[in-house]
């Protein structure tokens, strides 16, 4: 019994293995048949396409030949007919011949129609065979072929795209170099450099004593009111006005020149001349800006923007005069925009206003980009101008040819040899930071850094700050400078509290 059971299990196991082997063999055979069917379908499809193309070519060729033959014979018949009419007789033979020609033409047309029908039958038969062999409908076969063609084309398309991208990059680089070369060779800018001192010439050395005044009263009044250093040394016939702020230094220089010319130098006269010179400079900076806008042909422009353009003359960045830099950028941007088929005038305007915020930073602080955007939006400047202000320091991407030209021109103007001096800019930034710390305290009216940044004079409101608070304020400012500013040596913090009582006798 046990042996019988074992034999039965062996038999069942053999049958199972045989079935599995047979199934695997059937599957491979099916796959082979499927591949063979697809290959035959492809061959039939190619043969059908070839037959179709050959039939089309043959039919077209016969049609052309028949039309030419018909036209030639018809023209010949018409010619003979005209000749017969002229001779007063018409040949019956010619008419019969013409009728025969027409009959032949009709027969050929019937043959062509039959050939066209045969072509359609052949194509339908080929498609039917393809569907039977491949077990696919015509639409499925079409989708199958298109899918494989698409996959085969991807690599070719990618190679073409890479090649075109490389060509585009090379071409863009050549064009950029050409545009920069054109801009730099067509614009010859002057060296734009600023110092930290102005020199005032004196008629004689006696005027040095008058400027100093009794017990130094006049020079103290000048330095306190003008916010500058006045250096009087052994150099004959000159005094030196020193300050990092160009506008403040220019006003101080003009005040001293008027006082020296007038001869009357005392605190009251100094205040009177200073007030008058400030008014003159406000008008002067507007005229400076107006002249720039007129020369560039950029009217109309809001008068506040014109005034800020004039103020750029009294602003420097890394030792480079801001107005000179602005004009250089504007003209370079115009040339670049012209080379790139952009709007030259819009590029010129954007270049002129790209650093307009620098005219406000000394009064309001903060980023010149943010200040420039705010003031240009307030006075409804063109969106491209605003985009150029934001883009030239990387806040946004340029939105057009004109903005891109301004960005390139700004980099070109700032990076050229000798344009800027880093050491000077670091010094002026340190001095501005010291003044900002002082003016940020409550009760402070004005603060001037003098003596090359080694002393700061802080003027407070006597009604808000008493003597004890003034002493505490000097200590507070000194402590903040120690914590926030890097500087060599020491800085003297001088807090000045003054009370004035004024009345008039009438």
- Do the domain assignments include residue 192? no
316 and 402 co-located in one domain: yes
155 and 209 co-located in one domain: no
Residue 187: pLDDT over 80: no
215 and 347 co-located in one domain: yes
- Do the domain assignments include residue 172? yes
> Whose CA is closest to 227, among 318, 362, 393, 351?
362
252 and 346 co-located in one domain: yes
Q: Strands 455-460 and 492-497, how do they pair?
A: parallel
Express each pLDDT in 60-75 by its tens digit. 777 778 777 777 877 8
Residue with more model confidence, 53 or 201: 201
344 and 457 co-located in one domain: no
CATH code of 261's domain:
1.10.3210.10
Residue with more model confidence, 465 or 2: 465
321: β partners: 316
- Do the domain assignments include residue 11? no
212 and 332 co-located in one domain: yes
- Please enumerate in sequence order all residues whose Cβ is within 8 A of that of 470, keeping only pairs 6 or more positions apart, or say none: 460, 495, 497
Among 420, 455, 480, the domain boundary falls at: 420
Provide the pLDDT for residue 374.
Answer: 92
- Do the domain assignments include residue 416? yes
Provide the pLDDT for residue 388.
Answer: 92
Q: Are 484 and 435 in contact (CB under 8 A)?
A: no
Distance CA 258, CA 223 (A): 16
Mean pLDDT of all residues belonging to the chain:
76
Residue with more model confidence, 373 or 247: 373
Provide the pLDDT for residue 179.
Answer: 57
Range of the domain at 165: 137-186
- Do the domain assignments include residue 321? yes
Distances in whole angstroms, Cα of residue 280 to Cα of each of 71, 150, 249, 275, 391 = 98, 77, 15, 9, 36
173 and 225 co-located in one domain: no
Q: Strands 238-242 and 197-201, how do they pair?
A: antiparallel
- Do the domain assignments include residue 10? no
Provide the pLDDT for residue 340.
Answer: 79
Distance CA 265, CA 132 (A): 116
Provide the pLDDT for residue 191.
Answer: 40
Question: Mean pLDDT: which of 367-376, 464-473, 494-503 is highest?
Answer: 367-376
65 and 109 co-located in one domain: yes
Provide the pLDDT for residue 189.
Answer: 47
379 and 437 co-located in one domain: no
Token output for 118: 């045969």
- Do the domain assignments include residue 22? no
CATH code of 450's domain:
3.30.70.1350
Distances in whole angstroms, Cα of residue 25 to Cα of each of 18, 37, 318, 436 = 10, 18, 85, 91
Token output for 360: 């406000």
Helices then strands (H, E): number in the chain? 16, 8
220 and 334 co-located in one domain: yes
- Least confident range from 24-38, 181-195, 219-233, 281-295: namely 181-195
Provide the pLDDT for residue 423.
Answer: 46
Residue 248: pLDDT over 70: yes
Provide the pLDDT for residue 427.
Answer: 67
Distances in whole angstroms, Cα of residue 278 to Cα of each of 162, 248, 272 = 64, 10, 10
Tally the domains of the chain: 4
For residue 255, count other CB atoms closer than 10 A to its CB: 24
- Least confident range from 280-289, 313-322, 385-394: namely 313-322
78 and 165 co-located in one domain: no
Provide the pLDDT for residue 170.
Answer: 63
Residue 490: pLDDT over 50: yes
- Least confident range from 35-39, 326-330, 488-492, 494-498: namely 35-39
Express each pLDDT in 79-135 by its tens digit. 776 776 666 554 566 667 667 777 777 887 788 777 778 767 776 666 666 656 555
- Do the domain assignments include residue 17? no
Distance CA 430, CA 419 (A): 21
Express each pLDDT in 300-326 by its tens digit. 899 999 999 988 888 876 667 788 888
Q: How confident is the model at residue 387 (pLDDT cuts 50, 70, 90)?
A: very high
* pTM higher than 0.85: no
Q: How confident is the model at residue 185 (pLDDT cuts 50, 70, 90)?
A: very low
Angle at 101 between CA 96 and CA 104, to 5 degrees: 125
336 and 304 co-located in one domain: yes
Q: Strands 238-242 and 320-321, how do they pair?
A: unpaired
């Amino acid at each position: 019994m046990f042996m019988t059971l074992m034999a039965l299990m062996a038999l069942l196991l053999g049958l199972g293995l045989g079935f599995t082997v047979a199934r695997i063999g059937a599957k491979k055979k099916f796959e082979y048949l499927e591949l063979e069917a697809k290959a035959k379908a492809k061959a039939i499809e190619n043969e059908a396409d070839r037959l179709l193309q050959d039939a089309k070519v043959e039919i077209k060729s016969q049609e052309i030949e028949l039309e030419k033959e018909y036209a030639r014979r018809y023209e010949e018949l018409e010619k003979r007919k005209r000749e017969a009419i002229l001779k007063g007789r018409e040949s019956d033979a010619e008419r019969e011949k013409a009728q025969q020609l027409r009959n032949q033409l009709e027969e050929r047309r019937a043959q062509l129609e039959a050939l066209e029908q045969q072509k359609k039958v052949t194509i339908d038969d080929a498609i039917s065979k393809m569907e039977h062999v491949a077990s696919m409908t015509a639409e499925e076969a079409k989708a199958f072929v298109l899918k494989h063609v698409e996959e085969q084309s991807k690599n070719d398309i990618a190679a073409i795209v890479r090649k075109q991208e490389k060509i585009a990059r090379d071409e863009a680089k050549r064009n950029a170099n050409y545009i920069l070369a054109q801009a730099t060779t067509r614009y010859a800018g002057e060296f734009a450099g600023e110092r930290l001192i102005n020199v005032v010439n004196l008629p004689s050395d006696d005027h040095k004593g008058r400027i100093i005044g009794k017990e130094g009263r006049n020079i103290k009044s000048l330095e306190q009111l003008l916010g500058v250093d006045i250096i009087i040394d052994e150099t004959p016939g000159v005094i030196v006005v020193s300050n990092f702020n160009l506008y403040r230094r220019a006003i101080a220089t003009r005040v001293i020149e008027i006082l020296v010319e007038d001869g009357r130098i005392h605190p009251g006269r100094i205040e009177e001349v200073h007030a008058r010179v400030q008014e003159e400079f406000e008008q002067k900076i507007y005229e400076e800006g107006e002249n720039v806008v007129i020369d560039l042909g950029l009217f109309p422009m809001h008068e506040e923007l014109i005034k800020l353009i004039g103020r750029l003359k009294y602003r420097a960045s890394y030792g480079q005069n801001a107005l000179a830099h602005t004009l250089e950028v504007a003209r370079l941007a115009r040339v670049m925009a012209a080379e790139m088929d952009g709007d030259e005038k819009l590029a010129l305007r954007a270049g002129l206003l790209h650093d307009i915020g620098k005219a406000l930073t000394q009064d309001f602080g903060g980023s010149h980009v943010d200040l420039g955007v705010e003031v240009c939006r307030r006075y409804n400047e063109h969106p491209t101008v605003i985009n150029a202000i934001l883009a030239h320091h990387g806040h946004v991407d340029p939105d057009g040819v004109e903005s891109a030209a301004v960005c390139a021109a700004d980099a070109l103007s700032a990076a050229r040899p000798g344009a800027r001096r880093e050491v000077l800019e670091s010094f002026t930034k340190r001095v501005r930071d010291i003044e900002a710390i002082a003016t940020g305290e409550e009760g402070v009216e004005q603060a001037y850094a003098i003596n090359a940044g080694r002393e700061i004079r802080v003027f407070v409101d006597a009604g808000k700050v008493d003597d004890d608070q003034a002493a505490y304020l000097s200590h507070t400012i000194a402590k903040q400078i120690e914590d926030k500013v890097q500087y060599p040596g020491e800085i003297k913090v001088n807090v000045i509290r003054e009370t004035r009582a004024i009345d008039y006798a009438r």
